[in-house]
Structure 1
């Protein structure tokens, strides 16, 4: 039973069937038919409105509801057409990377990564350091087997372990890989190697003026995720992009390298940069306007997501976006190598995914320029909360828990420490507010924090059970408080460190609510705590544009990656939860309309290990394919 505390109590779990909240009617949703068009900027605003509408329609259409059911997806899994989890470029020359020991001498301690400036001494870019970067961020972490089934796990997590995210590296010449020319290559995690896509002369694309800098692009194959999850897959693909960004940023920091999105580039720039005119299969001129089953080879194409630049901490990096775009335009003259393998025999075309992906394509925004935020360390309560464990050991041992044990209890200080590491700005001086992305790994992102966390506290020593809220951008505090239930406390909990904007909303046992809102999954109630990531939604899309929609999910993925790493560093586990009842979560918080939206759930606690599953090494040895 919920416990009363002054005038605030935890809302009971849905005493009557909740009403599905539809997007509020506002100026944002109306057609701008009478908007006066005087300048090119005015034209952009008019063109942007239908794209925002499409992003909002997609988001509303793909909500799960306790009363109305689930978003559209396959009624069963077509195992015969499960996509191959490994994209390969057939006939592409292979550039082998170095295989590294799991117990490293070359990886800094996990705790020091967030308290030192720079996090580690900058290493020169080489065959060895490029191998370390990819090994500690995007490679295989293990093979698992039980009965007749064998499957791989990766360092970067993915919804359903489906891995729609692909990575591509652009590097200057490296001894023993490409001695004379810069190269662009696709990363193949199955054998930890690079598949050469093109050689690039320095005059065509000189890297920004910084030693040991390189570019890393991420792309998504929506079909890999849609095979299992249907229309909601576009959300999950963008969660995975965020996880991959954070995984790369953490591995880069262990090498003394900073990571930053090159977000002044547009979708078409990234498409040319990756040579997708040559790698992708072209869709037909007319597409079905509803879901369809059949042979659609172009569904296996890559969608370019983002381009990251990696460079040594402390470098005053300068990027001329106009010059960079002009250079990328010349990539059409390159000799592209390799043909992508076929992933499935047949497909299901979920029309709303591709309409939305088209609507949220980012245009170039070169006027915003390029800048690097100052590095802020994260807050630290007690260093002995962490085991003496290296970055590599944490990232490569990370697993998604399948069940929680309902027994494990963590100390209040451990809980607070995990949340301190989830703050975008890290340590701040008196009077400063959280919001700017200054700390690892959030500093890779180019916008101020838009994502907060509503926490269901279950088993934390010396902290009452109840509903709590972490405000990650304190400029949003007033709007959040006004939008949520008026009876909430907004009280600082006992022993909460200064600088941690955590508030108790209501006391009470919230296990039933946590489970019920997360699609009745026990794992949401059986851990130490679970949470829903709540983003400032409507205004973010209005202020920036429809292309901000996937970026909100990227931010939740970056935050989720920190929860994974923190959980493993203190000796427990975590799991991302993509299945939840969207508007029923909003009902618990009192949120209405589209001002704030829940975009991702997570649970942290003591894992239950399935002893029937055997673990095998990620890379067993030459000539051995697990």
Structure 2
């Protein structure tokens, strides 16, 4: 009884946070009143005193085409330092340096809200021929591994884990109370970045069902002395990289950490923070998965339906991904490009939805603006059949008309036509032109946990799934010759009301993320230089 009471209390805090952190037409969620860009938190965490291993830069050697990435059965690369370098180069490394006047900043392969990058990445390695067993922190600026721990007992069979944490202050510095949402969306993008990079190597990915305490211990985030003068990190999740079709037994983190020797002291990112947002710590604590859950068995990897037409080098397409800053407001696309993009969102055991069975709880509302072959208006792509029935009950006033022109494997339905979407999309996306000028915008909709249905930690799962969908959209837009950008700033309840979700009984359905796709307009004033000028064999 006490456990159930605690869960309900935690869920109430999660629900209160989501309501509190909504943007409204009359007022934005609480955030800083001013920003000093010269005092932005350091975007790079380092651990002073930790041994460093440089990683090779070999992504350009990978010749597989983007359309080939979705064909199962490719031979897996061996697990060694060269492949780890390729994995991180195509997921979390720098992708370019940008310069405008006196300003210089780095871009990364994985996207982030405001290019703030709250996500930190860890590697746990055992049994590799050229890397000592232990825990490592990935340093993207150096493309190197910082050894945080050395394991005492060597293991012969190769095992690799990738862990994630969030530094909430990096986002809260700019976005205030809404930052926890953005950290979780970024987590979803990071998970997607890992899955696509692993696919380049022929590897599979599965999440380990560890509780929060085990996650923190495995990455050394519970070692208070190592973060004595630095911002702490919130343990998020750990994924295992699988090199063959067999599902090996999950690793026991307690056995791995026995007699480990730890190294390194975390650097401070912001010496003089101007604000505090205690509600972020409260929702983080309330939404933790405290106890372990069974690790999912990997489903068979299936061939994607409606393969993309792009034959571009997959590693190049992944590394060239950018967030669009402006769109050509006269550009159009066609349903021949849209259908494969929507097919990529369907969780049918295809990449990247082959990591378990929990990736079909977020659904796509398509606002088609300038898509030849599809009338302007709102459409719904329900990503599982059960949700379609619940959504139809929640939205009985809408058309629910099948879209006859789309392929049979896409359950797209017409909700309502609207030939004048531009102004509406701009208003709903916090008055941003990036919403009005896109060829289409997708709003991601999900049922949030309720006392009757779910646990509070599933709040994180829903946001992460929305971020993972965003990562798919980023790469599919690049493959289609377009460009995407995630929009975390939107007016929550006006979007729900536009869809007809303002009625009693529909409160669980919430919009979590907006994503726009269009033809980018590049800023010629900004120059670009390579991420790592030196060549590494």
- TM-score, normalization by structure 1: 0.82
Q: Report whether the alignment pairs 1:599 with 2:512.
A: yes
- Work out whether 1:221 is the aligned partner of 2:167: yes
Is 1:450 equivalent to 2:361 in the alignment?
yes
The aligned residue for residue 301 of structure 2 is: 375
- Note if 1:547 corresponds to 2:505: no
Matches within 5 A, 1:338-417: 338-347=264-273, 348-366=275-293, 368-380=294-306, 385-386=309-310, 388-417=311-340
| C-alpha distance in structure 2 between counterparts of 1:213 and 1:413, whole Å | 42
Measure how far apart 1:325 and its partner are. 4.7
How much does 1:518 deviate?
A: 0.7
Unaligned runs of 5+ in 1: 1-41, 284-296, 426-437
What is the CA distance between 1:360 and its match in structure 2?
A: 1.0
> 1:118-197 alignment to 2 at 5 Å?
118=73, 120-178=74-132, 182-197=133-148
2:197 to 235, 247, 251: 251
Does the residue aligned with 2:399 lie in a helix, a strand or coil?
coil
**Against the structure 1 CA distance between its residues 257 and 113, is the aligned structure 2 distance closer, same or farther, given a 3 Å change threshold?**
same
Q: CA RMSD in A?
A: 1.9
Match of 1:327 among 252, 255, 278: 255
Partner of 1:111: 67
**Structure 1 residue 345: deviation in Å?**
1.3
Q: Report the Cα distance in structure 2 between the residues aligned to 1:369 and 1:309, rounded to whole angstroms.
A: 10
Given that 2:152 and 2:260 are in contact with CA atoms closer than 8 Å, whether structure 1 keeps it comes out as no
Corresponding position of 2:389: 478
Q: Is the 8 A contact 1:242 1:556 kept in 2?
A: yes
SS across alignment from 2:12: helix
Deviation for aligned residue 1:519: 0.5
The answer to whether residue 181 in structure 2 is matched with residue 271 in structure 1 is no
Q: How many Å separate the matches in 1 of 2:487 and 2:454? A: 27
Q: Is the 8 A contact 2:125 2:131 kept in 1?
A: no
The 1-side partners of 2:524 and 2:356 are apart by 39
Aligned to 1:317, which of 231, 238, 248? 248
Secondary structure of residue in 2 paired with 1:306: strand
Distance of 2:146 and 2:289 partners within structure 1: 27
Matched, 1:75 2:33: yes
Runs of 4+ in 1 over 6 A off after TM superposition: 280-283
- Could you tell me how far 1:622 is from its partner in structure 2? 7.3
**TM-score normalised by the chain length of structure 2:** 0.95
Contact kept? 1:278, 1:336, Cα under 8 Å: no
Deviates further, 356-365 or 605-614: 356-365
Are positions 1:512 and 2:423 aligned together? yes
1:108–1:282 CA distance, 2 compared to 1 (3 A): closer
Taking the aligned partners of 2:297 and 2:68, their CA distance within structure 1 comes to 25
Q: Secondary structure at the residue paired with 1:349? A: coil
Contact in 1 for aligned 2:299/2:355 (Cα 8 Å): no
SS at match of 2:481: coil
3-state SS of 2:347 partner: coil
> What's the CA shift string for 1:383-431, capped at 9, x where partnerless?
5x32x21221111000000011112211112111100001111xxxxxx
Paired residues of 1:141 and 1:397 also in contact (CA < 8 A) = yes
- What is the aligned partner in structure 1 of residue 262 from structure 2? 336
Report the counterpart of residue 20 of structure 2 in structure 1.
61
> Shift of the alpha carbon at 1:212?
4.3
SS of equivalent residue, structure 1 residue 442: coil
Give the paired residue count. Answer: 531
Deviations 1:348-386 (A, max 9, x none): 2201000111111112234x35411221222116x5x32
Q: Is the 8 A contact 1:245 1:444 kept in 2?
A: no
Q: 2:127·2:159 contact (CA, 8 Å) conserved in 1?
A: no
Larger Rg: 1
